Structure 1
Amino acid sequence: MPVEIVDNVAKSRFEIFVDGKVAGFADYRLLPTKIVFTHTEVLPEHEGQGLAGKLVGHALDASRDTGLRVVPLCPYVVKYIERHPQYKDLVDDSAAE
């Protein structure tokens, strides 16, 4: 099952594709120095395959690569960072202004 993750800037979300079709997404709001993750969702037919973790890991890596601080408002992103402490340094503790 080929998996691809892309940053769909027009929709302000990272998308994960399985066999060429959107299987999930992580919505964000882009600020000058921050990226605010607001919602992560995997379509029901793709749940339980580890896609959300792949998606969020990729999104956090991309944030690091572009020098953005991360504001995790999405509960899934919060839990992911708790389970993967290598991303804690990205978290911006100030208000998401």
Structure 2
Amino acid sequence: MSEIIALEYGEKKGFFYIEIDGKVQAKMTFVFAGEHQIIIDHTEVSPGNNGKGFGKKMTEKAVEFARQKGISILPLCPFAKSVFDKTPEFRDVL
């Protein structure tokens, strides 16, 4: 089983995703809010993958992206917000 955690984005929006054996199993979408912030607006995990930590892995990827780009994250998605609430080491990008 090969797991890939990746990112795709354009000028206005994008998504983080987890692909296993060539199939997308989870996706976290965001939109750019100006040049210095992204808004995470939705997290979705395919049936049968709940509890595998996919949401947290995508949130980690979002934090890594924000740190590299020097931008902040506004987690409007309830799941993403809960990960930030539970993970103090991610809060530097809020």
* TM-score class normalised by the smaller sequence: 0.7 to 0.9
CA distance in structure 2 between the partners assigned to 1:48 and 1:86 by the alignment: 21
TM-score normalised by L of structure 2: 0.87
Structure 1: which 4+ aligned runs deviate by more than 4 Å? none
Match of 2:59 in 1: 56
Structure 1 residue 45, shift from structure 2 partner? 2.5
Match of 1:86 in 2: 89
Answer yes or no: is the 8 Å Cα contact 2:38–2:73 preserved in 1: yes
For residue 78 of structure 2, the aligned residue among 67, 70, 75 is 75
Match of 1:8 in 2: 8
CA distance in structure 2 between the partners assigned to 1:84 and 1:70 by the alignment: 14
Q: Which amino acid aligns with 1:8?
A: E
Structure 1 residue 8, shift from structure 2 partner? 1.5
Q: Which has the higher helix share?
A: 1
Q: Which has the higher strand share?
A: 2
- Alpha carbon RMSD of aligned pairs, Å? 1.4
Ranges in structure 2 where 5+ consecutive residues have no aligned partner: none
Ranges in structure 1 where 5+ consecutive residues have no aligned partner: 92-97
For residue 46 of structure 2, the aligned residue among 43, 47, 53 is 43
Q: How many residues matched? A: 91
Q: Percent identity?
A: 30
TM-score normalised by L of structure 1: 0.85
